[in-house]
C-alpha cells in the first residue's frame, strides 16, 4: 500500500509491504508489532512521550525508506521539531500507520 502524508509542508511518500516487518527488524533490532504492542499497552495517564515519539517516527521512517537513502538519524534531523507539538498532525500520522499496517482504528483517510 502507498500513501503520502504531509509533515510541516513536506510530502513524505510511504509504502508498506511484507518487507516492512523485515526492514524494521534489520534497521532497529526489534520487532515492528512488538513495538506497536508497547504503544497499545501504555497507561494513557502515564504515557511515556519519548517512547511514543521514538516508535512513531521509527515506523514512519521504515514506511518512507523505499523512497530515501537517508539514515534514520538524517531523516530525523530533517524533520521540524514543531511537528511534536501539533496534535492533529500526530493523530494523522498515527491513523496513517494504522491504515497502512492493516489496523482498523484509523479514523481519517490521509491523502
Q: What is the tens place of the pLDDT at every residue in 41-66?
A: 776 655 677 888 889 999 999 999 99
Confidence category of residue 72, pLDDT binned at 50, 70, 90: very high
Question: Can you tell me the distance from the alpha carbon of 54 to that of 88, in angstroms, rounded to the nearest whole number?
Answer: 18
Decide if pLDDT at 109 tops 90: no
Q: Is 59 part of any domain?
A: yes
What is the value of pTM for the model shown?
0.82
Determine the pLDDT at residue 6: 84
Total domain count for the chain? Answer: 1
Range of the domain at 13: 2-100
Residue 109 lies in a domain: no
> CA-CA distances (angstroms) from residue 33 to 28, 94, 98?
13, 14, 11
Is the residue at 107 inside a domain?
Answer: no
Does 28 reside within a domain? yes
Amino acid at each position: 500500500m502507498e500513501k503520502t502524508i504531509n509533515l510541516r509542508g513536506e510530502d513524505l511518500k510511504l509504502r508498506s509491504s511484507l518487507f516492512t516487518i523485515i526492514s524494521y527488524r534489520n534497521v532497529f533490532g526489534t520487532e515492528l508489532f512488538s513495538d506497536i504492542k508497547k504503544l497499545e499497552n501504555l497507561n494513557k495517564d502515564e504515557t511515556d512521550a519519548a517512547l511514543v515519539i521514538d516508535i512513531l517516527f521509527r515506523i514512519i521512517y521504515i514506511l518512507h525508506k523505499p523512497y530515501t537513502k537517508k539514515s534514520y538519524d538524517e531523516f530525523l534531523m530533517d524533520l521540524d521539531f514543531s511537528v511534536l507539538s501539533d496534535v492533529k498532525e500526530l493523530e494523522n500520522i498515527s491513523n496513517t500507520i494504522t491504515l497502512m499496517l492493516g489496523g482498523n482504528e484509523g479514523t481519517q483517510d490521509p491523502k
